[in-house]
Amino acid sequence: MAEMVRKSSSDEIINHWIMALSCILLIISGYGFLFQIEGIGSLFGGFNAMKTVHNWLGVVFVLSLLYSMGHYFKDALEYDDDDRQWFKVAGGYLSHKVKVPPMGKYNPGQKLYYLAILAAGIAIALSGFAIWLIQDNAGLILLAHLVHNLAFCIFIIAVPVHIYLGTLANPGTFQIMVNGMVPLELARKRYPKWMKAAGKM
């Protein structure tokens, strides 16, 4: 059996799944509210139940999002020349012929995705709590309603892209969110700078 390296800790994987599942359920129920979709309401046991589920899943989501900062935040803030070059070749996603610069543990697309989700996630959570809890302040509630829906637009664009890139577009990547392991050979090709730093190259 090929030698494996660990890319994600079990702690990170479990937290990511809590975040992912709550996020997807929040998006589904969000569409239910946005367009008054009876079928989605029934799925959650009616709109009253769906409201309770949506509110508390929001709590779960934002807690796991904040917890994930310990896993990704530091990496997401560091960019180098290779990262800049990565953008010039669109990460190699638009053509297999371009030369993609060597990457560290995460590519800049992933890092910016994380920052976008972090910002949109905090915005959607704060505005959600405002809609949930604030009474008698029309200006603030309408602002929260707008922010909640603007952040929602970021989620419904970014999350499907993230799912596609983490599954079909990059074979072998999904496994990292299952057992956290990457074959050493693959890791050397995809994350050479990280492997170098870890002394495995």
Contact footprint for another protein (CB under 8 A): 31-38, 41, 47-48, 50-51, 92-96, 131, 135, 138, 141-143, 145-146, 149-150, 152-153, 156-157, 160-161, 164, 168-171, 186, 189-190
CB contact at 8 A, 65 and 19: yes
CB of 77 to another protein, least distance (A): 25
Closer residue to another protein in complex, CB, 66/177 = 177
CB contact at 8 A, 109 and 162: no
| Long-range contacts, 73-82 (Cβ 8 Å, 24+) | 73/114, 73/118, 75/104, 75/105, 75/106, 75/111, 76/106, 76/110, 76/111, 76/112, 76/114, 76/115, 76/118, 77/111, 77/115, 78/111, 79/108, 79/111, 82/193
H helix or E strand, kind and range, residue 4: strand 4-6
CB of 112 to another protein, least distance (A): 16
CB of 47 to another protein, least distance (A): 4
Closer residue to another protein in complex, CB, 122/131 = 131
Work out whether the CA dihedral 125, 128, 134, 140 comes out positive or negative: positive
CB of 160 to another protein, least distance (A): 5
Closer residue to another protein in complex, CB, 15/182 = 182
Closer residue to another protein in complex, CB, 9/149 = 149
CA–CA gap between residue 86 and residue 83 (Å, rounded): 5
Closer residue to another protein in complex, CB, 77/150 = 150
CB of 5 to another protein, least distance (A): 15
3-state SS class at 182:
strand
CB of 151 to another protein, least distance (A): 11
User: How far does Cα 146 stand from its chain's mean position?
Assistant: 22
Closer residue to another protein in complex, CB, 90/198 = 90
